[in-house]
Structure 1
Amino acid sequence: MILHIYIYVSVKPEQNGSTVYVPLVHRHGPCAPAPSLSTDTRSFADIFRRSRARPSYIVRGKKVSVPAHLGTSVMSLEYVVRVSFGTPAVPQVVVIDTGSDVSWLQCKPCSSGQCFPQKDPLYDPSHSSTYSAVPCASDVCKKLAADAYGSGCTSGKQCGFAISYADGTSTVGAYSQDKLTLAPGAIVQNFYFGCGHGKHAVRGLFDGVLGLGRLRESLGARYGGVFSYCLPSVSSKPGFLALGAGKNPSGFVFTPMGTVPGQPTFSTVTLAGINVGGKKLDLRPSAFSGGMIVDSGTVITGLQSTAYRALRSAFRKAMEAYRLLPNGDLDTCYNLTGYKNVVVPKIALTFTGGATINLDVPNGILVNGCLAFAESGPDGSAGVLGNVNQRAFEVLFDTSTSKFGFRAKAC
């Protein structure tokens, strides 16, 4: 993860030929189910700080699409889907995360001091007839360790897993396999995931994470490294997570997919230019040389220093009619209370190869009255394309051909 996005499934999946489409919602959005624990209210500052800390075998058969939602119901600005684990199938609300590989749930046994509150009861693997722990001496466990997710042996003979994120979040437990039900008739047998028996500093009421990174442990790898999603705006209808392929390629603009040296989980795009209010910023290609990780789990886009400062200056000039509001986390926020019509300047991002995306106005540009961009680091370092900027686009990941696709107004 870099920053998180969560997807929640609450509507009936639609099937179109061989493809099943499941809704995607923001986990704090109006379409997401109400949380069972309502006492944990998180401020935007809390959510942003957690999000900003983040940057630091193939399934043969039907293509699957799952509804995705903004995760307000589980106290997050990430996106969530509802899928089911085990036999009988037990629904779980999980974050979709292109910035991590290993999927995980909180599982029983787990004491209140070891696991954090979540929306649903902890997953109990002892109630599933298809569950099994991965043996410590297995090839699967050795591969997990080779990809830096292993944690030795638990309970003597079980394969252990451990995941730590840059924001201090961590989970440890038994690496396991069970049946994963994505939608009616869309089942992944022997799906590998972490059954967490200890979780630290995880804020939010989600039940786990669905990893969509590039490594072999991810759900995306099970579908050949080809998937797409559309992240809806807070007030919009549900989006979707489509595994196996995107929709018809018509309407997409494409750009080459890169990687981050030494960090094989991530996929990147490279910016070639930025327009604010119809005017192209005067930036040299070197300002974008570090590339940008495309991360569904990061909220705010992180731009390298020169590019960010140019964007901020142009945006502030276009928003001179509105009063800047001091904010300890983001530096370009506005008090928009009392305004009937707020005119937000358009922002367009152009990637190598000429692909240009016009960000959704205002929900793809502002979050809680703040510009959804921040300075990520010096020129030459990797930036992050966060989930706010991705809203309303179908974003296609195709690692088989090393390209990204963007289709506007997809949800």
Structure 2
Amino acid sequence: MASLIRSLFLLLCSCYVVIAHADVVAGHKGRTSVVVPVTSFQSSEESWTAPHPTRVSMPLAHRHGPCAPMPAKDEMSLVKKLRRDRARTMSITRRVSRSTRLQNSDAVIVPTQLGSSYDTQQYVVTVGLGTLAVPQTLLLDTGSDLTWVQCKPCNSTACYPQRLPLFNPSRSSTYKTIPCDSQECRTLAAGIDGDGCTSTWECAFQIDYGSGANTTGVYSSDALTLGSRAVVESFHFGCGHDQEGPFDMTDGILGLGRLPESLVWQTVGKHGAVFSHCLPPTGGDTGFLALGAPENTTSGFVFTPLLTMDDQPWAYQLMLTGISVGGEQLDIPTAVFREGMVMDSGTIVTALQDTAYAALRAAFRSAMAEYPPAPPTAQLDTCYDFTGYENVTVPTVSLTFRGGATVELDASSGLLLDGCLAFWTTDGDEYTGVIGNVNQRTIEVLYDLPGARIGFRTGAC
């Protein structure tokens, strides 16, 4: 089965990814600016990395890149993406922020899945599902718990078009439905993914997204093949029979959240509830998703505590304590960051508390004063016109987290989005912030749930 899945992966995508071994540190002290070519803000050729012998890793690609199932041309404009990204971010910040919940929880209306807007998620991995395994390309989402795919029987009005064939449960010798009187179904129903029993006494699920999309189907189990060699027996997932809303050609969602239904906890016996990902610098490059801890989790990583709130256990939350631009720490009171930040792979640009964003914007604009400004793009208000420039000198930007972990963002891909600073404001200091996927590019983000910490290793993909 493993050799079959590997062959399928290579047929779907001619690039293969694994984890780099370079010993790099998360930050470069003393560096104030970086000269980068303007072309680095655009697509580049595919990248290759070397395999890691002890972890299960899978290629991770941008949904519109050459290693993804989407058409080469992305028909959604950047402005439309950013507007949907703003809606996703606001629903996350309003749900997680302590002050908002305490003051008037009834007034906060958010979708059931971390405020997710399905069509703002950008990165995909390919797994094998069933026996014999068939490939399924899924959107990576640290804000979702339940993994789901589209399943037969499903007609054109109930399922959206996808590039790969729909998963057919009747052709898998290991497929089973979860009974509605089982503990697994009761656990699902008690969480945010639960629905109840169907007329045939199968456990049902329904997920609603902030974009208005939703999926409904049967809670099921089957073999899940990861990478080229790891098989998760009796993996629990949603078999979607009715999808509505703005979906696209991917086959579903791979849930990497903190609740029991996620892939993280379903593989705890083999991989210890530890995983990491490295988002590639451009749509034409390749990153990775890896399950399990590196051989030496301290090598090249800096760590900060992972926060857990009793009433919001699903959020990957951490505490930002400072921001530096050009090697200089910004004068931001520590209290500004009191609501913390959520790490979210499905959000595009980072949302900072108002005071923090104002300080970052002022410092960045000062450092970039030699370049002509460009009109704002949606919520991004610090934009530049690089027409005629071959290289641009960009100030270094570093984020410092509780415990002193300092991470320098990648200057060529992790700061600017289409010429705009990839940050905006939450419209107040009382809201939790969100660290988006642009700032995470080229950084291996390690989620160590038993150790209650998040690690960062720069230059990893």
TM norm structure 2:
0.78
Q: Does 1:393 align with 2:443?
A: yes
- Tell me if structure 2 keeps the 8 A contact 1:291–1:382: yes
Matching residue of 2:215? 171
Q: Which amino acid aligns with 1:152?
A: G
2:394 aligned counterpart, secondary structure:
coil
Deviations 1:331-367 (A, max 9, x none): 2222323222222221100001100000001210111
The alpha carbon displacement at 1:260 in A equals 4.3
Name the CA shift for 1:358/1:9 in 2 (closer, same or farther; >3 Å).
Answer: farther
Matching residue of 1:46? 80
Q: Does 1:358 align with 2:408?
A: yes
- Tell me if structure 1 keeps the 8 A contact 2:85–2:120: no
Counterpart selection for 2:359 from 301, 310, 313: 310
Name the CA shift for 1:11/1:111 in 2 (closer, same or farther; >3 Å).
Answer: same
Q: Which is richer in strand?
A: 1
Distance 1:218 1:84 in 2: 17
Q: Which amino acid aligns with 1:127?
A: R
- Tell me if structure 1 keeps the 8 A contact 2:373–2:382: no
Query: Number of residues paired by the alignment?
Result: 385
1:42 aligned counterpart, secondary structure:
coil
Matching residue of 1:343? 393
Matching residue of 1:149? 193
Q: Which amino acid aligns with 1:168?
A: G
Distance 2:262 2:208 in 1: 16
Matching residue of 2:163? 119
Deviations 1:246-303 (A, max 9, x none): 3522110011110345221111111110011222211001111111111112111111
Q: Which amino acid aligns with 1:88?
A: L
Consecutive unaligned residues in structure 2, runs of 5 or more: 1-11, 19-50, 92-117
Matching residue of 2:7? none
Distance 2:14 2:258 in 1: 27
Of residues 373-382 and 178-187 in structure 1, the stretch that sits farther from structure 2 once superposed is: 373-382
Name the CA shift for 1:382/1:226 in 2 (closer, same or farther; >3 Å).
Answer: same
Counterpart selection for 2:286 from 227, 238, 245: 238
Name the CA shift for 1:365/1:12 in 2 (closer, same or farther; >3 Å).
Answer: closer
Name the CA shift for 1:236/1:274 in 2 (closer, same or farther; >3 Å).
Answer: farther
Counterpart selection for 2:380 from 330, 333, 339: 330
Distance 2:139 2:129 in 1: 14
Q: Does 1:271 align with 2:327?
A: no
Distance 2:201 2:448 in 1: 37
2:166 aligned counterpart, secondary structure:
coil
2:335 aligned counterpart, secondary structure:
helix
Matching residue of 1:368? 418
- Tell me if structure 2 keeps the 8 A contact 1:10–1:82: no
Q: Which amino acid aligns with 2:129?
A: F
Name the CA shift for 1:53/1:199 in 2 (closer, same or farther; >3 Å).
Answer: farther
The alpha carbon displacement at 1:43 in A equals 1.4
Consecutive unaligned residues in structure 1, runs of 5 or more: 1-7, 57-73
- Whichever of the two has the greater Rg, that structure is 2
- Tell me if structure 2 keeps the 8 A contact 1:253–1:407: yes
Name the CA shift for 1:144/1:44 in 2 (closer, same or farther; >3 Å).
Answer: same
Distance 1:105 1:377 in 2: 36
Of residues 213-222 and 241-250 in structure 1, the stretch that sits farther from structure 2 once superposed is: 241-250
The alpha carbon displacement at 1:243 in A equals 0.6
Q: Which amino acid aligns with 1:48?
A: L
- Tell me if structure 1 keeps the 8 A contact 2:82–2:378: no
Q: For residues 76-225 of structure 1, what are the structure 2 equivalents within 5 Å?
A: 78-222=122-266, 223=268, 224-225=272-273
- Tell me if structure 1 keeps the 8 A contact 2:121–2:139: no
Distance 2:146 2:295 in 1: 26
Matching residue of 1:300? 349
Distance 1:371 1:211 in 2: 29
- Tell me if structure 2 keeps the 8 A contact 1:377–1:383: no
Aligned identity (percent) is 51
Q: Which amino acid aligns with 2:240?
A: G
The alpha carbon displacement at 1:183 in A equals 2.1
Matching residue of 2:335? 286
1:53 aligned counterpart, secondary structure:
helix
Q: Which is richer in helix?
A: 2
Of residues 373-382 and 363-372 in structure 1, the stretch that sits farther from structure 2 once superposed is: 373-382
Q: Does 1:226 align with 2:274?
A: yes
Matching residue of 1:61? none
Q: Which amino acid aligns with 2:338?
A: S
